[in-house]
C-alpha cells in the first residue's frame, strides 16, 4: 500500500465527514450533502474539489460514475490511524457490563469467555471472538492423587483456568498393594503426601514444566514413586500439547447479519464456513501484526485489519479489530470484533481495548 499522502486540515475534515456519513447511512455521499450536514464552513464546490483530490489519493472512490463517493480501505486506514479516537463512553460501558455480569467464582474460564463474547457482541453490534488460553499458557493450581481399583492411581491436575487434566497411573503390584483401598490409611497417607509434594513444587508453573521437577527433594520412603509419577506427568504434558487445538469462542452472528453488507447469502456463508470449519486460518490475524500501522492505546496494542489487508478472501469485505489479553504481562489469548469495513471504529476499538484490559486484570488477580 502507498504511504499516506500529506493532507491539510480541510482534507482531513472532508475525509472524516465522508467516512462518518457512510458509516451512518451505507450510502454514497455528495459534496452538497456534506457541506450542509457537517458544517464544513466551505462551499459545496470546495468540498467537491477536495473530494476529487481525496479520490486521486485513493482515499475515496465512486461506486458508479453518477453516484457520490465512499471510503476506500485506504481511506478507512488513514481514518483509524490519524483521525479517530476510541470512545471512552463505550469503553466504560463494556467494563461496567463485564464487571457486573460475569461471575468468576467456581466457573471454568471457557464458560466465562463465552458469556463475555455475548456481552461484547451485544454492545458492539458486531461478531465477537475470543480465543481460549492454550494449555501451555495456563498454570497449575493443584494436583491430587486418588486411589482407584486394581492398583491404579488417578492423577488430577487443576489448572488456573479451572480446567482439569487427568491421567491414570498403573502401579506395579508391590506398590499397588501399598496404595490400594485394601490397605487403608497408609495408602491414603502416601497419596496425600505425594499430592502435597507435587502441588508445592509445581503450583504456578505451566503444565510443560512438570518434567523439570527435582525428585531429589522427595523423602527416601517415597522415592519408589518418583519414576512412575514423572512418567505420568510427562505423558500428561505431551498428550495435552499434542491434542491442543486453539479454541475460538464466537457470539453475535445475529448482530452482524443486520448489516447490509451481509445481506448477500454467499458472502455470509463463506464467513460462517471460515469460522466453523477453518478457524486455524484465523490465528495469524489474532497474533500477527497487520502489514500497516496499529493502534497503541495505553500500552495495549489494538490491531485493526481492514478489507484487503486481510489475507483471507472471505474477510476482505470486513474489518477485524483484535487485542491480546494477558496474565501477569504474558499474552495468553486474544479478543476481537468482526464486522463490515463500514464499522464504527471508535466503538469497536474501545470495546476490544476495554475487554482486553478487563480480562487481563481478572486473570492476573
Do 253 and 297 fall within a single domain? yes
| pLDDT given for residue 224 in this prediction | 67
Q: What share of the chain is helix, strand, coil (3-state, %, to 5)?
A: 55, 20, 30
Answer whether residue 1 is part of any domain. no
Which residue carries 457537517 as its cell? 38
Domain end point (choices 243, 278, 310):
243
| pLDDT given for residue 177 in this prediction | 46
Do 225 and 293 fall within a single domain? no
pTM for the full model?
A: 0.74
Q: Residues 6 or more apart from 71 whose CB is under 8 A from it? A: 15, 18, 19, 22, 59, 60, 79, 341, 342
Residue 225 and residue 219: Cα distance in Å, rounded? Answer: 10
Residue 217: name the closest of 196, 189, 238, 186 by CA. 196
Do 206 and 152 fall within a single domain? yes
Burial letters 50-77, b for 16+ CB under 10 A, else e? bbebbeebbbbbeeeeeebbbbbbbbbb
Q: Which domain holds residue 237?
A: 139-243
Domain end point (choices 200, 216, 243):
243
Domain end point (choices 222, 243, 264):
243
CATH value at residue 103 = 3.30.450.40
- Sign of the dihedral through C-alpha 256, 101, 345, 284: negative
Residue 286 and residue 308: Cα distance in Å, rounded? Answer: 16
Residue 202 and residue 189: Cα distance in Å, rounded? Answer: 20
Answer whether residue 192 is part of any domain. yes
Answer whether residue 210 is part of any domain. yes
Do 260 and 317 fall within a single domain? yes
How do the pLDDT tens digits run along the chain, 365 residues long? Answer: 556 678 999 999 999 999 999 999 999 999 999 998 888 889 999 999 999 999 999 999 998 877 799 999 999 999 998 899 999 999 999 999 999 998 877 677 788 899 999 999 999 999 999 988 765 566 788 888 888 876 778 888 887 665 677 888 776 644 444 444 443 434 677 788 888 888 888 888 777 666 666 666 666 656 667 667 777 777 776 666 554 556 789 999 887 878 888 877 778 888 888 888 888 788 778 876 666 544 444 444 799 999 998 888 888 889 999 998 988 887 888 999 999 999 999 999 999 999 999 999 888 87
Burial group, residue 14, by CB count within 10 angstroms (0-12, 13-18, 19+): buried
Answer whether residue 2 is part of any domain. no
Do 293 and 258 fall within a single domain? yes
Do 256 and 202 fall within a single domain? no
Do 117 and 174 fall within a single domain? no
| pLDDT given for residue 219 in this prediction | 65
Do 128 and 251 fall within a single domain? yes
CATH value at residue 15 = 1.10.10.10
| pLDDT given for residue 164 in this prediction | 74
Q: How many CB atoms within 10 Å of residue 171?
A: 19
| pLDDT given for residue 182 in this prediction | 45
Q: How many CB atoms within 10 Å of residue 278?
A: 11
Amino acid at each position: 500500500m502507498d504511504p499516506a499522502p500529506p493532507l491539510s486540515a480541510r482534507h482531513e475534515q472532508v475525509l472524516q465527514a465522508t467516512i462518518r456519513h457512510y458509516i451512518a447511512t451505507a450510502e454514497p455521499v455528495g459534496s452538497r450533502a456534506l457541506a450542509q450536514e457537517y458544517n464544513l464552513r466551505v462551499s459545496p464546490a470546495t468540498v467537491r474539489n477536495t473530494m476529487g483530490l481525496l479520490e486521486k489519493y485513493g482515499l475515496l472512490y465512486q461506486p458508479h460514475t453518477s453516484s457520490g463517493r465512499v471510503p476506500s480501505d485506504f481511506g478507512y486506514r488513514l481514518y483509524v490511524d490519524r483521525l479517530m479516537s476510541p470512545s471512552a463512553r463505550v469503553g466504560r460501558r463494556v467494563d461496567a457490563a463485564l464487571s457486573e455480569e460475569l461471575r468468576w467464582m467456581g466457573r471454568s474460564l471457557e464458560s466465562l469467555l463465552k458469556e463475555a463474547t455475548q456481552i461484547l457482541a451485544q454492545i458492539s453490534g458486531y461478531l465477537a471472538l475470543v480465543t481460549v488460553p492454550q494449555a501451555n499458557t495456563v498454570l497449575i493450581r493443584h494436583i491430587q492423587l486418588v486411589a482407584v481399583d486394581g492398583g491404579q492411581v488417578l492423577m488430577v491436575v487443576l489448572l488456573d483456568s479451572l480446567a482439569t487434566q487427568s491421567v491414570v497411573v498403573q502401579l506395579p503390584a508391590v506398590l499397588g498393594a501399598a496404595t490400594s483401598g485394601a490397605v487403608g490409611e497408609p495408602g491414603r497417607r502416601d497419596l496425600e503426601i505425594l499430592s502435597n509434594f507435587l502441588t508445592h513444587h509445581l503450583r504456578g508453573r505451566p503444565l510443560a514444566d512438570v518434567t523439570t521437577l527435582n525428585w531429589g527433594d522427595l523423602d527416601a520412603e517415597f522415592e519408589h514413586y518418583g519414576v512412575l509419577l514423572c512418567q505420568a506427568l510427562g505423558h500428561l504434558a505431551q498428550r495435552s500439547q499434542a491434542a491442543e487445538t486453539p479454541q475460538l469462542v464466537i457470539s453475535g452472528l445475529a448482530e452482524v447479519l443486520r448489516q447490509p453488507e451481509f445481506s448477500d447469502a454467499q458472502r455470509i456463508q463463506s464467513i460462517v464456513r471460515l469460522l466453523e470449519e477453518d478457524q486455524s486460518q484465523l490465528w495469524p490475524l489474532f497474533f500477527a501484526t497487520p502489514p500497516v500501522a496499529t493502534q497503541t492505546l495505553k500500552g495495549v496494542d489494538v490491531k485493526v485489519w481492514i478489507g484487503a489487508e486481510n489475507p483471507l478472501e472471505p474477510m476482505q469485505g470486513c474489518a477485524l479489530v483484535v487485542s491480546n489479553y494477558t496474565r501477569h504481562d504474558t499474552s495468553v489469548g486474544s479478543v476481537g470484533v468482526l464486522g463490515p469495513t463500514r464499522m464504527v471504529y471508535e466503538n469497536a476499538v474501545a470495546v476490544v481495548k476495554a475487554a482486553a484490559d478487563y480480562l487481563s486484570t481478572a486473570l492476573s488477580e
